[in-house]
Amino acid sequence: MADQAVGIPIVKEGLPFVGGLGGAALLFGLAGWIIPAGVVGGFMLFTAWFFRNPRRVIPQEPNVVVASGDGKVIAIEEEFEPRYLKEKSIRLTVFLNVFDVHVNRMPCAGTVEGISYQPGQFLVASKPEATLRNEQNAVMLKAESGAKVLCVQVAGLIARRIVCWVRQGERVQRGERFGLIRFGSRMDTFLPLGSKIRVAVGDRVKGGETIVGELR
């Protein structure tokens, strides 16, 4: 079920990492190994921060599309999407570095029509070839207007786990949390041709909060 992480400051997938590092730091401290305890404690704090799960103010304007993830817009391209949509669309790509929030959010309200996981490589997520070659998970949405919107979680150079909480047939809301990518990645959102884009390459966006486009 989507949005299962509501109200939790750290997503549950991060708790084992934070707990393990915290336990190790405690053991080092009890043993009197102050420097190792400090180093491991620092890693624990960074890991807790990486898996943070902040609340967002979701825009309520009709037909708008919000960013699927936090990060920098690195591409806005019209191209043929060959695997799922099988038609020409607008691809909007957001690159998430290790300092960005990595909880992914639904770009619009609608119904999940399909989910497809693709194993693959772990190229640097900002490279154009990562679109087709990297490990990824695609979520196909049918928006309330009937438009098809494709949201793709793409693993990056050091990302080794894609998490998706939604299921086919599920109704979702705009800005709803639906997944997570660990440690550096990107989000591709494919919108129908004719959609109005409201961001530009180089803009910083917040998942679930920044309006990136408008369905026509």
pLDDT digits (tens, 9 = 90+) for 133-164: 778 899 999 998 899 999 999 886 655 578 89
Q: What is the third-level CATH fold of 64-214?
A: Glucose Permease (Domain IIA) (2.70.70)
**pLDDT category of residue 1 using cuts at 50, 70 and 90:** very low
Residue 26 has pLDDT above 70, yes or no: yes
In degrees rounded to 5, what are phi and psi of residue 197? -90, 130
In degrees rounded to 5, what are phi and psi of residue 16? -60, -40
Cite the active site residues. Answer: 185
**Cα 100 → chain centroid:** 10
Domain spans, the chain: 12-50, 64-214
What is the pTM (predicted TM-score) of this model?
A: 0.83
Residue 121 has pLDDT above 70, yes or no: no
Exposure string (b/e) for 105-140, b if CB count within 10 Å is 16 or more? bbbbbbebeeeeebeeebbebbeeebbeebbbbbbb
Tokens of 179: 């997944």
Residue 11 is which amino acid? V
Calpha distance 149→136 (Å, rounded)? 16
Calpha distance 150→158 (Å, rounded)? 24
